[in-house]
Structure 1
């Protein structure tokens, strides 16, 4: 799936299987999902439910959303970190809400992060992250309407630019082909259809700010969507010397060995960077 080809209409209701078919990836059960399309462009999927653990206010063009982490104080890791980073470095964020007593998810449109703060916002006095989100379509409509109204004293305008990382998709596509779209962690080979495999490329030292990692094979692993998410959430670490896998909670993976082809050299410095800066255990 490429984001440019994705077709979603606000108000559309989708079952879990329909969501998987539309995005070419299943749901993880997290409120904030870190995802990538076929061009390795990162995007987020946000989920909120009337029957969930948080009293999210999802009405209006601007609303509040509580971060992930159901017990103890929330930390700025995993989905919370990526959602907070989107305040200064925007990326596509698709928001879904499930009304009470309804099995389907209603697509609410894309949103952008206005601000975030941490404090005791829930009834348990835990430290949780509260994000102020704004629906992109409604915000743009308000801007268009304001610009079409005559004004004797028009506001000052400034020119802004938005940067986007250009990824070497040929490099990662070729690497995925060499691994036959097989996950280097678990050996699973997902399929997008009967004939074609599906895998995702993960940069151990991320490309964007503040990491500044390089887009080279030595910094890339080929992974299934689940273990790609686990790396992003800091749930996985790889010993640079032995290539032994450490997983925060999955005993079937913990202690296994990372599969690395002879023609793919994974640089130890990028494994060390991931373990030091991103892994959370």
Structure 2
């Protein structure tokens, strides 16, 4: 059976279900126990908030969702680190590929947004970002920031999503962007002559060279990185994407982790060691696909 990314025909937002069996029968969330329905090669089509993980945060239109794994089957407590694999990797793919995920809230999820009985389908969310951090129990968990995709009447922008294989559906979303200091962005690129600090290549276009200013510790919630020169790198688009999604990181001595080489650093540019450490802890993992 094909995995459906998006709405299920005939099941509107707000639909309620008595138990997990009916969620599965109607195709809203197929697994009878797992909180994430997905494949690490395709992505995740749905999640259930059921109170299983102590690190979950539910703010209605924004959810900080804790990934799968590392819990004791006896006590339900986190007893080991999570890895970016299986269902966690599936949900991470949604972020990279722009796939929506169905969110279901259960009665046993400790949130004012949860139903008092049974389960309720609460619409589509996009995976805005994901990262690794130490949870309340002291073990590393993977966390995913989910943002509600607004219904048509509440939207101010239309974008294309791919909810099913071979079918395109128009989904309306509201977009909130962090306004970055364009002066700093221009400065860091001009300082390096639009050369990437990793590969030292520059991209030539018909209007001149191109490079991107990359924040080491991301701006905005929940990372709240500062828009300062010490938190910026000049990267080519390929290495910018790799860095943002944990394909490589940078050691305190500026040697590269995950790829060969050392970060080229201009004598006038001080890279903040505290931001490198934050990136390594929250985004860099050698366990992808384990």
TM, length-normalised to structure 2? 0.48
Q: Is the helix fraction higher in 1 or 2?
A: 1
